[in-house]
Amino acid sequence: MTNNKLEKINAIRGMNDILPKESFQWLRLENILHNLMAAYGYLNIRTPILEQTKLFARGIGEVTDIVEKEMYTFSMSQDKTDMLTMRPEFTAGIVRAAIEHSLTFDRPQRLYTMGPVFRHERPQKGRYRQFHQISVEAMGFAGPDIDAEQIILLNRLWKDLGLEDIHLELNSLGQVSERLAHREALIKHLEKHLDILDEDAKRRMYTNPLRVLDTKNPDLQKMANSAPKLFDFLGEDSLGHFNEIRKRLDEAGIEYTINPRLVRGLDYYNLTVFEWVTGSLGAQATVCGGGRYDGLFELLGGKPTPCVGFAIGLERLLSLVISDSKSETIKNLFTEMGPETDIYFIYQNVEASRKCSQLAELCRNNGFKAIVHAGSQNFKNQFKRADFSGAMYAIIIGESELESNTVSIKQLQLNPDGSSIEQTTIPTCELVDFLTKLTNKKDA
């Protein structure tokens, strides 16, 4: 006998469904972030998921793990002349959009976006193949005031979310000429330690030596600690930029650690780099990373434009909020899903169902969330659904209510003070006013 049962199809490994019992947490976090961005004058931008591969090869750097190993890249043509990539990060795409649409022609821009990004790496807790970021970019601002402002913005976010175990690490990469002098000294230092360098370090030694210092290999820590420090090569302007940021952070009461091994290994990064780290996420310690990238516009074909920005992984941040927030308000916001609806309409027959649909629209017009039961007309089943929805009130229309043009109202959940109203019947035309008075009394 042939088995005609179709094979079940599951989600791709590392690309996760976000179900309603979790999605409400995402919506609340996103709402907090949208409001914070608006408070600092950042405007929303949305770029395509698919971009030309060369955008990321040029914008992130060909000698990086992201470009070499992690990008989802494909072509729709046989000659592979139109290589496309699913975005592994946002910054390059936002800069491309700013150049293409001349966004910084009239004035500098504060921009942000949120959404999924894609990297083909081994899935683990807090690291997925499809994950989500908020990316925040200030374009056309050269001074240290904007660098400091973004850090102050982030400090406000941590406070708003009740996060205390989170700490700022800060560094300066100086300018290109200063990094080149440091690079020469660094390569000489690495050449003296060839016998202990791992294959990854040897591969990067001449192409991206700064990244060698950012090694996680414990056998290389002593070598990295004794390497020439970029700070020793910084000129007066670079030090002045960095010290002004420090002064503003000191005035804001933000504590930080200067970490000379905190780097961005690409040539278009300069001056400020920073990370916010926590001890609450195990190996995934970085919550947010950012810095200045004044050279990226020019690298992507635009006019020289100073920029600074940061990115936060939202899965990581959401996990941290749920596990670590010290704010009871935030804890409740992210653990209590709340009711699906305010009112649930229950009916006895098809004609009553139509009447319920009309009244539900009227209630929605007046700011109420309303669900009209669909399916079985069995009263017991309808009340079960109503209870499950979390609705405060059931609006009931049976045969007698249809004949008398009335509705019955039954309270399903107790008020916060433990009180409730008796089931009552009112004229249909009074429903909205009656519900408004009830909810106003309840809110008070």
Binding residues for L-histidine, as ranges, are 89-91, 119, 133, 137, 264, 268-269
Show the tokens assigned to 216: 């996680």
Residue 50: name the closest of 85, 78, 8, 79 by CA.
85
CA 160 to chain centre: 15
Pairing assessment for the beta strands 167-172 and 256-258 based on DSSP bridges: parallel
Residues 372, 396 contacting (CB under 8 angstroms): no
The Cα 268–Cα 186 span in angstroms is: 19
SS3 state at 427: strand
Alpha-carbon span 192 to 187, nearest angstrom: 9
Which backbone phi and psi does 392 adopt, to 5 degrees?
-75, -35
* Residue position matching structure tokens 């649409």: 101
DSSP summary character for residue 67:
I
Q: How many CA atoms lie within 13 A of 161 on its CB side?
A: 28
Contact assessment for residue 344 and residue 373, using Cβ atoms and an 8 Å cutoff: yes
Cα 407 to Cα 118: distance, rounded to the nearest angstrom: 52
Q: What are phi and psi of 114, to 5 degrees?
A: -135, 145
Instruction: Indicate the annotated binding residues.
Output: 89-91, 119, 133, 137, 264, 268-269
DSSP reduced 3-state for 43? strand
The DSSP symbol for 230 reads: G
- 136 contacts 222 by C-beta, under 8 angstroms: no
